[in-house]
Amino acid sequence: MADRETTLLAAGDNSFRLDAYLRRGGYEAARKTLLSLKPREVMDEVKKANLRGRGGAGFPAGSKWAFVPQTDDRPKYLCVNADEGEPGTFKDRAVMTRDPHLLIEGIILTCYAVGIHTAFIYIRGEYEAIARRLEEALGEAGAKGFIGPDVFGSGFGLEVLVHRGAGAYICGEETALLESLEGKRGLPRLKPPFPASVGLFVGPTVINNVETIANIPLIFRHGADWFTGRGLPRDGGTRLFGVSGAVRKPGLYELPVGTPLRKIIFEHAGGPAGGQAIKAVIPGGLSAPFLTANEIDVPMDYESLAHIHSMLGSAGIIVIGERTPMADILRITARFYAHESCGQCTPCRIGTTWISKIADRLASGGGAEGDLETIRDLAEGMKGRTLCPMGDAAAMPILSIVEKFGSELAAAIARKKDTETE
């Protein structure tokens, strides 16, 4: 067992090839599982492992699978969410580039557990080179009978298609992903109904993030208990923490769930770069409320971050140094959501651009009294009011910037006012 891969980040130049994957113990777990366990048992083991979704929402994977009704005969689908658009996030790219077969093996296990025979990998359009790598890997797997009409000779049939997106962050939201996959504009759907009951082409559908699925073979290679042991009891496994921004060693760090943020930044990513102190840290991709330098002792797990009113999200850690004006960060953050808003619902469609216009003005020295309060009110008008979670994704970080760095922003406004009156 020792030589069987335990990591999500395969090493070596040819790690992505099938022969290299097989040497690491690849596909054995899937073969054994399909030939000896019932789908229900597979699902239970994943539940036991307490694998929570790695895309951002953190919903327990096993429970999500269990929502799919097993009693009707509509075709079911798996959509692997490889849209990876959350700023600060670059982990799925690494898994797919370095270990596409790990993902494929995870897809096999997932589909077997839920009774799915067609899986789509929805990959963002910019990842064209990675899409080709996935297709090559699928070709290799298909040639060996690891996917196809009779997987491992088990009688279970599975087809996997790579489906390219075309440049829209919103398609990372699960129902927008479905709309896009059906050949339409990526507009999120009203929930209920939930994808597990009415999803792709109205069939029951599971949508899971790449990293989530990549963990499944590890669970079956080494067991659910091993998995929870690697993380926390209620939140098992490791996370691929992506660290970027003002740090000496930006990169991906595979560490146990619950590792303190400070440790990740200082011990793994080399601490802040450029000899400056940390001003702010985004812990879980841009949609997560910002943390101040005083808050980085937080353990990186869902509960702990929720407790301090932030979120683990996609575990994309961005470190912002003291020399960076928060007005610029606010401007860029607001611009991002304004650009990516699908435009369907009133608060997000108007609110994101309105805030972006104020933030632009503020960052270029045109801020006025009342601007921060307006931004706060507009963000509050979006929070909890929108058709999909992107409203919160936009509102929460912006609110955190205004709340926690409000005095810096206000000082900048006042400075402009002072220079005007001189």
Partner 1 sequence: MKFSLSAESVKRIDELIGRYPKKEAALLPVLHIVQREKGFISREAEEWVAGTLGVPPLRVSEVLSFYSLLRRGPAGKHVIQICHNISCFLAGAEEIVGYLESRLGIKAGETTADGRFTLVAVECLGNCDHAPCLMVDDDDYGPVSREAIDGILKRLA
Partner 2 sequence: MNMVTIEIDGRSLQVEPGTTVLKAAEAIGIVIPRFCFHPAFEPEGSCRMCLVEIEGLPKLDLACATVVREGMKVRTATPRVVEARKDVLEFLLADHPLDCPICDKAGECFLQDYYDKHGRYASRFFESKEKKKKKIAIGKGLLLDRERCVLCTRCVRFLRRVTGTGELGVFERGVKAEIGIDEGRDIRNNYSGNLVDICPVGAITDRDFRFKTRVWFLEKGRTVCPRCGRGCSIVVQSVRGYPLVGNERRIYRIVAAENPAVNGHWICDFGRCGQHDIEDDRLTAIAVNDGGRSAGLQEGRPADWNAVLKALAGEIRTLGEAGRGTRLAVILNSFLTDEELGMCRKLFVDILGVKDIFLVDPKPGEADGLLLTADRAPNVRGAAVLGLGPKPPDAARLGESADMLLIFGSHLLDHLSPEQAAAALGGVRRKWLFTAHRSALDRLVDVVLPTAVPAEKKGSFTNVDGITQSFACAVRPRKGCLPEAEILARLAAELGVKLE
**Cβ proximity of 135 and 108 under 8 Å:** no
Give the C-alpha separation, 225 to 311, whole Å: 25
**Cβ proximity of 393 and 384 under 8 Å:** no
Using CB atoms within 10 A of its CB, is residue 100 exposed (0-12), middle (13-18) or buried (19+)? buried
Among candidate residues 243, 260, 239, the one with its CA nearest the CA of residue 252: 243
Q: C-beta of 342: minimal distance to partner 2 in Å?
A: 5
Kindly report the length of the chain: 422
Candidates 101-109, 125-133, 138-146, 223-231: pick the segment binding partner 1 (CB under 8 A).
Answer: 125-133
* Site residues, partner 2 (CB under 8 A): 168, 170, 185, 190, 338-347, 349-354, 357-358, 361, 368, 370, 374, 378, 381, 384-387
Q: C-beta of 182: minimal distance to partner 1 in Å?
A: 5
Of 53 and 165, which has the nearer Cβ to partner 1? Answer: 165
Q: Does 30 sit near partner 1 (CB under 8 A)? A: no
Contacts of 127 (CB under 8 A, 6+ apart): 82, 84, 93, 96
**Cβ proximity of 196 and 63 under 8 Å:** no
Give the C-alpha separation, 404 to 196, whole Å: 38
Candidates 11-19, 215-223, 328-336, 353-361: pick the segment binding partner 1 (CB under 8 A).
Answer: 328-336
In 207-345, alpha helices (H): 210-222, 224-230, 261-263, 302-307, 326-340
Of 118, 215, 287, 304, the one binding partner 1 (CB under 8 A) is 118
> 388 contacts which partner out of partner 2, partner 1, none, CB within 5 to 8 A by kind?
none
First CA to last CA across the chain, in angstroms?
A: 74
Q: Does 263 sit near partner 1 (CB under 8 A)? A: no
DSSP 89: -
Q: Does 201 sit near partner 1 (CB under 8 A)? A: yes
- Three-class DSSP category at 244: strand
Residues 53-112 within binding reach of partner 1 (CB under 8 A):
75, 84-90, 92-93
Of 128 and 369, which has the nearer Cβ to partner 1? Answer: 128
Of 21 and 169, which has the nearer Cβ to partner 2? Answer: 169
Of 213 and 334, which has the nearer Cβ to partner 1? Answer: 334
A 10 A CB-CB count for 335 gives 18
Of 185, 234, 415, 417, the one binding partner 1 (CB under 8 A) is 185
Residues lying near partner 1 in the complex (CB under 8 A) = 75, 84-90, 92-93, 118, 124-129, 159, 161, 163-169, 180-186, 201, 242-246, 250-252, 282, 286, 316, 318, 320-321, 324, 328-329, 332-333, 336, 339-340, 342
